[in-house]
Structure 1
Amino acid sequence: MISCACKPWVKGLVFFAVVVGILGAMIGYDRGFREHSQPAWTSATPEMRFKYGSIGAEHDAGVPYWIFYVLPRIFPDKLLQDGKVAPGGYAALGVPWEQGQELPVGFTKKTIGFPRVANNCAVCHTTSYRVSAETNPVLVVGGPAHTTNVEAFFRYLIDCAKDPRFNADILMAEINRVTELDPIDKLLYRFFIIPITRQRLLEREAQFAWIYRPDFPDWGRGRDDAMNLTKYFMIRAPMDDTFGPTDMPSVWNLKKYDWARGHRMNYAGDSNDAYSVIMDSALGLLGAAPANKEDFLGQVKWLHTYLTQLPAPPYPFPIDRARADAGKPLFAAHCARCHASELTGRPLPLAEIGTDRGRLDSWNKGAAIKANQVVREMGLDRRGLVEEDLQGYVAAFLDGIWLKAPYLHNGSVPTLRDLLEPVANRPRVFWRGYDVYDQKKGGFVNDTPEAKRVGTRLDTGSRGGGNQGHEFGTGLSALEKEALVEYLKTL
């Protein structure tokens, strides 16, 4: 019989190793994966929750906070607008930023092991407007984010990751200038967080390849290429030659959409109902299946309830009531058939509207089937995307129309007054994303030196940017057009 009793020092060493392993696992979990609640202020009111509350995107799509913080300090040369360096850090992207807030509207901060920054729905659905160049901006939640350059933000993160300066030595030197991390976080950032973040950002480059194509114009402020985002991120489709930029939509008063009456969501009617749109948009922000399905569904339900009840914003400036009264019968004669009838909220044939078809070509029945399958495989239930080829664009509801500029699905007409002109008389080139409101024309100032400095140039002769079609009311006199615009302000 052989004795295998261990010597006391061996037992001690094993015990020590076990203790160290347990402590290491605890520290690793705490600093790498433990999820903390956001501060109470982020959900103190429904509006604050919409603007800053997490929807869970920090898990897979989040950027470590201190990396996010120092990127503009290291890479100011990569914040570009119309090919030129734009000063101001992330503010150069046109994001609405409230005074006193740490992050722009639509940017969330949550600690999952370490603080991370991600986005929620407000990043695309918060409008900024000013009375004049000297006044502070007014923010309207649920409105189209007409000032935000989403494409530039996507490119910025990727372009930073591709730069050899994105390394632990340079990033840690800059982080150490602005904060004092404890020894554990310093080690995690240097050897794990920075290298992994760079790798994850570089992995996105293939999915975003189409936004670097020289034959595709920039989206510019306030637009995205929504269905191509869905194709390349949700269903991982190979890149094709379609390009369909669209304006960010408003998402207030969603109760007006009634699925049972044939109403459809999105510009081309490719989604069945508001709940499906909210879920799919949230999944796009997450960039993966939800880490916590129950929490995710709770967020979607809350957003649906909030946006269903959120009223359209009333026109905040004086209205000439006599002129608006004169415009009401003009609206009934020239606009109501599509925008205040049984046709409202339903897709109309492209041949009838005549607008740019790029958005229609970027989506089809096969893509819808695949996208619905992906969501079902996540164990999520919704009516989903309409499994049909697209025929035209939805006749829009006009509540809050005063704040939805620029107009048409691709944002190719700057003001309501311009929309009442024949195509040949509409601006061929203008600048998007300036937030001083034009009370006379109904839209945003778009051609002054300051608008040109701040905004992004849209050439309506560019691909996906056509301003043709929707020539309704164009035969009215100048006084009648002014009266009609005045009435539209009341909706």
Structure 2
Amino acid sequence: MTTPSRWPRWLKIALPLVLILGAVVALVAYNRFLRDYGAASFADPAERFKYGSIGAENDAGIPYWIFHVLPRVFPDKLPKPGIGYAAFGVNWEQGQELPVGFSKRRIGFDRVANTCAACHVASYRTQPEETPTLVVAGPNHTLDLEAFFRFLVDCARDPRFNADTLMAEIALSADLDLIDRLAYRYLIIPITKKTLIEREGQFQWLYRHDFPEWGRGRDDAMNLTKYFMIRWPMDDSFGPTDMPSVWNLKKYDPERGHRMNFAGDSHDPYSVIIDSALGLMGAEPKNQRDFLAHIDWLVDYLKNLPAPAYPFPVDSALAAQGKPLFDANCAACHASARTGTVVPLDEIGTDRGRIDTWGERAAVEANKVVKDMGIERAGLVEAPLTGYVAQFLDGIWLRAPYLHNGSVPTLADLLTPPAQRPQSFWRGYDLYDPARVGFVVQGVDAQQAGTAFDTRLRGNGNAGHDFGTTLPDADKAALLEYLKTL
């Protein structure tokens, strides 16, 4: 073997240069593709909830500049043309770079991912022309999540999703340096396209024509868990539910038999928040310590966040008349030891689709997936589903539409016999109707803003929960006034 002392002079000079160059290339590659620059910090906990990263950018994130230009390159794939991401009913605050529920984090390059706030920040308006009021931890009844999922896959499948087209559009908004331009053209865009197309298999059931659209403000939560967490093949179940409110979570007490999720398939707030976050991430956390620290923060924040007060005047005398009517007709389920526990389906009589999407075997497998990650939680209930949870009614005024699947537009409609409830209406308009206690669901404006809901379609049934429906009109008015105070 030739010793270094006998190496040619040119080799002695070139080798250190090659090593230095290699180190520089490695450092640049690390900084531009792998280095996690950390999550943004927020002094205001509400801002952290709305925009703070949960770590989903690693595996489920979309490169920022691709995310930025997709609506401009593919306006034909938006559910409503000409308004960008607003077409999906996201909440977007003036002056903010991204919609509520989207975080931006630099991991080599800037990436965008969803957070819990996408589904759990509500909006309402008291007048048609006013700026919406946002309520943290309320159900986002305007979000068309299914359309957003399909949009990403449909864009990736389109021939226009290529480096030439996207880079030309990106150049109109950003002055990327040479390294970023090369990275986007030859690596980031092709890899993003491949990754999004690979998700198509998990989204198969979103393209089934025999399933109704979720529409605004709903998802198919347990099927999302089946197909994303435990990777089951698609089955024939379909059980869409409303986005739930997640304020005041300390009211749930597992020691008193309380269960979470609409069908009572999870034990406690900690488990629900972990499972929801893992679903958004689509993979095991890259940094488990940081992930669990953020979960602890979320649990503490949401346990102690109060429900919002009703924003309109309340007739206190009429509400006082409604209190005994509530006690006689509602309190047995919604203000008693039974609250937060599962009511058998044959007693409540509502649509069973949600129950049929999940079961004991699925819970066992999902719990194993999380345990194998080294994450300890009470988890999902390993038992058959038998009914729906009797809901706590704090902030019930903002949780329209009603029943687990959002099939009844207003509380006034819920006090109407099932056969007389609206068969069809528009979901997703945020103008509030204080008289009926819910959102406006009919008319040109509601149609323009919302998605059609047909109670005759699978999973959308509005039967059941006929408590209080035989009361005289005057008593119903008093009961509604009292419900506004909860």
Q: Give the TM-score range, shorter chain.
A: over 0.9
CA distance in 1, matches of 2:477, 2:444: 25
2:13 matched residue in structure 1: 12
**39 and 370 in structure 1: CA distance in 2 versus 1, 3 angstrom threshold:** closer
CA distance in 1, matches of 2:2, 2:106: 54
1:447 and 2:442 are equivalent in the alignment: yes
Quick check: 2:40–2:53 contact (8 Å CA) kept in 1?
no
1:49-60 equivalences under 5 Å are 49-60=48-59
- Please report how far the alpha carbon of residue 15 of structure 1 lies from its aligned counterpart in structure 2 after TM superposition: 2.4
CA distance in 1, matches of 2:64, 2:212: 31
Give the SS at the match of 2:19. Answer: helix
2:458 matched residue in structure 1: 463
Q: CA RMSD in A?
A: 1.1
1:216 and 2:211 are equivalent in the alignment: yes
1:62 and 2:57 are equivalent in the alignment: no
Give the SS at the match of 2:370. Answer: helix
Quick check: 2:49–2:116 contact (8 Å CA) kept in 1?
yes
- Please report how far the alpha carbon of residue 39 of structure 1 lies from its aligned counterpart in structure 2 after TM superposition: 4.1
1:109 and 2:104 are equivalent in the alignment: yes
- Please report how far the alpha carbon of residue 482 of structure 1 lies from its aligned counterpart in structure 2 after TM superposition: 1.1
Give the SS at the match of 2:309. Answer: coil
- Give the AA of the match of 1:376: K
Deviating more after overlay: 9-18 vs 67-76: 9-18
Query: Quick one: which of 368, 373, 376 aligns to 1:381?
Result: 376
1:120-135 equivalences under 5 Å are 120-135=115-130
Deviating more after overlay: 19-28 vs 261-270: 19-28
CA distance in 2, matches of 1:107, 1:3: 58
Query: Quick one: which of 403, 406, 409 aligns to 1:411?
Result: 406
Unaligned runs of 5+ in 1: none
**3 and 439 in structure 1: CA distance in 2 versus 1, 3 angstrom threshold:** closer
Deviating more after overlay: 92-101 vs 13-22: 13-22
1:13-32 equivalences under 5 Å are 13-32=14-33
- Please report how far the alpha carbon of residue 192 of structure 1 lies from its aligned counterpart in structure 2 after TM superposition: 0.6
CA distance in 2, matches of 1:216, 1:53: 34
Query: Quick one: which of 367, 382, 392 aligns to 2:362?
Result: 367
Give the SS at the match of 1:358. Answer: coil
1:262 matched residue in structure 2: 257
Aligned length: 485
Query: Quick one: which of 450, 475, 478 aligns to 1:480?
Result: 475
CA distance in 2, matches of 1:366, 1:2: 66
CA distance in 1, matches of 2:469, 2:324: 15
Give the SS at the match of 2:28. Answer: helix
> Deviation per CA, 1:361-420, whole angstroms, max 9, x where unpaired?
000000000000000000000000000010000000000000000000000000000000
2:150 matched residue in structure 1: 155
The TM-score with structure 1 as length reference comes to 0.97
1:207 matched residue in structure 2: 202
CA distance in 1, matches of 2:343, 2:18: 70
Unaligned runs of 5+ in 2: none
1:48 and 2:24 are equivalent in the alignment: no
- Give the AA of the match of 2:31: D
- Please report how far the alpha carbon of residue 326 of structure 1 lies from its aligned counterpart in structure 2 after TM superposition: 1.2
> Deviation per CA, 1:334-365, whole angstroms, max 9, x where unpaired?
10000000110000100000000000000000
- Give the AA of the match of 2:58: H
1:55-454 equivalences under 5 Å are 55-80=54-79, 85-454=80-449
- Please report how far the alpha carbon of residue 10 of structure 1 lies from its aligned counterpart in structure 2 after TM superposition: 2.2
Quick check: 2:63–2:110 contact (8 Å CA) kept in 1?
yes
Give the SS at the match of 2:354. Answer: helix
CA distance in 2, matches of 1:343, 1:35: 47
- Give the AA of the match of 2:386: Q
CA distance in 1, matches of 2:81, 2:456: 25
CA distance in 2, matches of 1:33, 1:76: 32
CA distance in 1, matches of 2:62, 2:331: 47
CA distance in 2, matches of 1:278, 1:107: 17
Quick check: 2:415–2:466 contact (8 Å CA) kept in 1?
yes
- Please report how far the alpha carbon of residue 58 of structure 1 lies from its aligned counterpart in structure 2 after TM superposition: 0.5
> Deviation per CA, 1:101-131, whole angstroms, max 9, x where unpaired?
1111000011111111001111110000000
Deviating more after overlay: 237-246 vs 477-486: 477-486
CA distance in 2, matches of 1:153, 1:301: 29
Percent identity reads: 64
> Deviation per CA, 1:146-185, whole angstroms, max 9, x where unpaired?
0111111100100000000000011001111111000000
